[in-house]
Amino acid sequence: MPKLTFWFEFASTYSYLSVLRIEAMAAEAGVAIDWRPFLLGPIFRAQGWETSPFNLYPAKGRYMVRDIERIAEARGLVFRMPDPFPQNGLSAARLATLGVGEGWVAPFTLAVYTAEFAEGRNISEPEVLAEILEKVGVAAGPAFEAAGRGEIKERLRAATEEAIGLGIFGAPSFVTDDGELFWGDDRLAAALAYTASVSRSS
């Protein structure tokens, strides 16, 4: 099955939209999804941004909320802006990095985004993450212990470096095996179609 890599950042509002629908759309397109957590913070800081562009540019921030509200209504989803925004997603990203190796990244990530953007919970809190881990069948204690190791921290740092090398500057991003980058939930369908068509023609 052709593969599309899904780069997501836990603080990203538009990533929420993709997390909720990517597996269903990928199944329909006959594409496998490779879930890849990374951090936008270092990428934003490298271009002089100390917080989300939606905070730095208030008109853009207000628009983003309304845009997602309209999309959520059209798709029948719940959406609420987290408080504070952006959430600190470092612990979630380390756990998700562990989950990539252990096979539970997708259900864990879906549950984290739902807690953050539908239930209004603070995903930087260990209790919230522990509850989510248990809900998706992962023992929280060992997962926290493993996610805190240098190896996982290093793997997440390396993922962020790899993202920069692929030209990624925002989330969600989708990258095909031949290096095509698609940015934004509104490019998900095009990314899947491209992936499926390259596979058919090769």
Residues lying near a second copy in the complex (CB under 8 A) = 47, 57, 59-60, 62-63, 66-67, 70, 164, 167-170, 180-183, 186-187, 190, 194
116 versus 185: smaller Cβ distance to a second copy: 185
125 versus 186: smaller Cβ distance to a second copy: 186
Residue 11: CA count within 13 A, CB half-sphere:
21
Q: How far apart are CA 136 and CA 92, in angstroms?
A: 14
Based on its alpha-carbon atoms, the radius of gyration of the chain, rounded to whole angstroms, reads: 16
What is the nearest approach in angstroms of a second copy to the Cβ of residue 179?
Answer: 10
What is the nearest approach in angstroms of a second copy to the Cβ of residue 186?
Answer: 5
81 versus 136: smaller Cβ distance to a second copy: 81
DSSP string across 154-166: HHHHHHHHHHHHT
Q: How many other C-beta atoms are found inside a 10 Å radius of the C-beta of residue 177?
A: 13
What is the nearest approach in angstroms of a second copy to the Cβ of residue 28?
Answer: 19
Cβ–Cβ under 8 Å, residues 123 and 129: yes
CA distances from 25 to 19, 38, 44, 102, 151 (A): 11, 22, 29, 23, 33
57 versus 151: smaller Cβ distance to a second copy: 57
Q: How far apart are CA 94 and CA 89, in angstroms?
A: 9
70 versus 135: smaller Cβ distance to a second copy: 70
What is the nearest approach in angstroms of a second copy to the Cβ of residue 169?
Answer: 4
What is the nearest approach in angstroms of a second copy to the Cβ of residue 75?
Answer: 12
